[in-house]
Amino acid sequence: MSAFDIRDLLDAAVPMEASSAPARDSVPLAEAAVPGPTAISPVVVAGLVRALECALIFGLGTLLHVLMLRGRVPFGLTYAGVIGMIAVTTVTLIQASGGYRIAAFRSFFRTAIRLIVAWSLTFLMVATGLVLAKVADHYSRLWLGTFFGAGLAMLLVGRFVLFRIIDAQTRAGRFDRRTAIVGGGQPAEALIAALETQSESGIRIVGVFDDRNADRSSDVVAGHPKLGNVDDLVAYARHARLDLIVFTIPITAEARILQMLAKLWVLPIDIRLSAHAAKLRLRPRSYSYLGSVPVLDVFDRPIADWDVVVKAVFDRCVGLMMLLALSPLMLVIALAVRLTSRGPVLFRQKRHGFNNELIEVYKFRSMYVDQCDAGAARMVTRGDPRVTPVGRFIRKTSLDELPQLFNVLKGDLSLVGPRPHALQAKAANTLYDQVVDGYFARHKVKPGITGWAQVNGWRGETDTSEKLQRRVEHDLYYIENWSVLLDLQILLTTPFALFKTENAY
């Protein structure tokens, strides 16, 4: 959850004065907003390496027992316990020495020394423990010595292979945190200089954005181009990979910061406030760090690192099971649609996905083919003549949404998340994003087939601004409080919510 309450932020932010920055030509910004390579999370990589090394150590010890002692010494808890102890202790010592940081993966020789020390210390500790417990005679010394030599060789070879892989991915920019600097002048120059002296920080500055005009803000700051103002930054983040935004504006300029944050908080990006040159000194625990540069956390991307992996695995596994279980019902619906009105069974519609990306969502066709409204410029109402008899039933029960399970398997949608709205959808004859401040914050996560708003009674028609406001409020609550348990709760509640059909046409 973010450090600031979103509603307080929007209330505090006074309307932005007309920007004094001149209108920028969109071509330079479009050229700068080149999509970066897909990012790899260092946290996930470190976790995978940690788990893999632990598993390999245990597997090697077990394999050596089978090859050397099978038929003569039983495996049992005696050997399994010691092998497990060696694996866990080794991983713990490597972790304590910093051996699971990305910087360690990039440096083979320094890391090799840590591995040798950790592995040797582990065997020394285990051997001492066995002697003190007076059970050393129960274990084969030849097996233990072979395990020590083979395990050390395996770890070193594995780390060398990992070093080559990480080096290649680093050169490709997969571990870079693509960072935009907001603000200019001497504070921005000082921050950029501090970040660029730390090669291990992983920060790659893509440009500078400043809301001041040219006579107060130069076009180049510490060798990096000024790409525009805050509005340009939002547009940039929609078209290029951006991982981090750092403000260099003084904390004392509270009103100016709040005005900018009111525009930027809708982005699925970490936002930090630089404390590098601030005179105010807080307790060290109040800061997070980019390398050694202190920053204050303002907003965090809501689902990141392992959360992304967990949610993706959950979506694919549960989505595939649901698709297999519901395939007979989907076949019956497809036949009913095909036999009762001419035209294709499926209806494809462009909608906004994660970070406003355009995606194509699948549905069973519920309208007559010559009256389908791909842009949803006209909302479906009770007794709408455009809807077929079969379409009326499947819309009311939300069965028309079942083909979106294919979108889940493709990765365009999640099972649970804010519902994706059609591009031209309106409430009270006004486009959704013009009705609710911060509407696009719904797109900080992938949209879903069902969501917190739907199971709380806010599904179906949004003909008034109040209905849309309540739906967006529920969507933002879900984003700020996401967990796998919440997803499960929503999935289990969805069938019961479908019985409430008064707003579904």
Question: Which residue type sits at 495?
Answer: P
pLDDT band at residue 14 under the 50/70/90 scheme: very low
Q: Which of 14-23, 96-105, 244-253, 420-429 bottoms out in mean pLDDT, i.e. has the lowest?
A: 14-23
The tens digit of pLDDT for each residue in 207-259 reads 999 887 766 677 788 888 888 888 899 999 988 889 999 998 877 777 888 88
pLDDT band at residue 282 under the 50/70/90 scheme: low
Task: Check if the beta carbon of residue 233 is closer than 8 Å to that of residue 224.
Answer: no
Dihedral (C-alpha) 196, 199, 203, 205: value to the nearest 10 degrees?
40
Give mean pLDDT, residues 432-452: 87
373 backbone φψ class: left, alpha, beta (φ>0; ψ -120 to 50) = beta
pLDDT over threshold 90, residue 275:
no
Q: Which of 172-176, 236-240, 429-433, 488-492 bottoms out in mean pLDDT, i.e. has the lowest?
A: 429-433
pLDDT of residue 284: 62
pLDDT over threshold 70, residue 281:
no
The tens digit of pLDDT for each residue in 396-411 reads 888 999 999 999 999 9
Q: Which residues, listed in sequence order, are joined to residue 182 by a DSSP beta bridge? A: 209, 247
Instruction: Give the burial class of 284: count Cβ atoms within 10 A of its Cβ; 0-12 exposed, 13-18 middle, 19 or more buried.
Output: exposed
Average pLDDT, the chain: 85
Question: Which residue type sits at 243?
Answer: D
The tens digit of pLDDT for each residue in 355-391 reads 989 999 999 998 888 777 666 666 676 777 888 889 8
pLDDT of residue 25: 41
Report the SS3 class of residue 82. Answer: helix
pLDDT of residue 422: 77
CATH number belonging to domain 6-39+176-301: 3.40.50.20
What does the alpha-carbon distance between residue 173 and residue 38 come to, in Å, rounded to a whole number? 9
pLDDT of residue 220: 84
Most confident residue range from 2-11, 279-288, 357-366: 357-366
What does the alpha-carbon distance between residue 277 and residue 187 come to, in Å, rounded to a whole number? 7
pLDDT of residue 185: 83
pLDDT of residue 19: 40
pLDDT of residue 1: 40
The tens digit of pLDDT for each residue in 289-330 reads 887 888 888 899 999 999 999 999 999 999 999 999 999 999
Choice between 6 and 97, residue whose per-residue pLDDT is larger: 97
The tens digit of pLDDT for each residue in 186-214 reads 888 888 988 888 777 788 999 999 887 76
Task: Check if the beta carbon of residue 42 is closer than 8 Å to that of residue 176.
Answer: no
Residue spans of the domains in the chain: they are 6-39+176-301, 42-172, 306-499
β-strand pairing of 224-228 with 220-221:
antiparallel
What percent of the chain is predicted at pLDDT more than 70? Answer: 85
pLDDT of residue 34: 62
Task: Check if the beta carbon of residue 497 is closer than 8 Å to that of residue 471.
Answer: no
pLDDT of residue 100: 95
| CA dihedral sign, ordered 134, 138, 142, 147 | negative
Give the H or E element holding residue 135. Answer: none
pLDDT band at residue 17 under the 50/70/90 scheme: very low
Give mean pLDDT, residues 123-129: 93
**Cα dist from 499 to 55, 185, 461, 496, whole Å:** 48, 59, 15, 6
DSSP code per residue over 266-300: TSSSEEEEE-SS-S----GGG-EEETTEEEEEEE-
Task: Check if the beta carbon of residue 10 is closer than 8 Å to that of residue 266.
Answer: no
pLDDT over threshold 90, residue 116:
yes
pLDDT of residue 287: 77
pLDDT of residue 86: 95
The tens digit of pLDDT for each residue in 423-441 reads 777 676 677 777 787 888 8
pLDDT band at residue 39 under the 50/70/90 scheme: confident
pLDDT of residue 502: 61
| CA dihedral sign, ordered 408, 413, 419, 422 | negative
Q: Take residue 273 and report the two structure tokens written for it.
A: 């406030």
What does the alpha-carbon distance between residue 122 and residue 53 come to, in Å, rounded to a whole number? 14
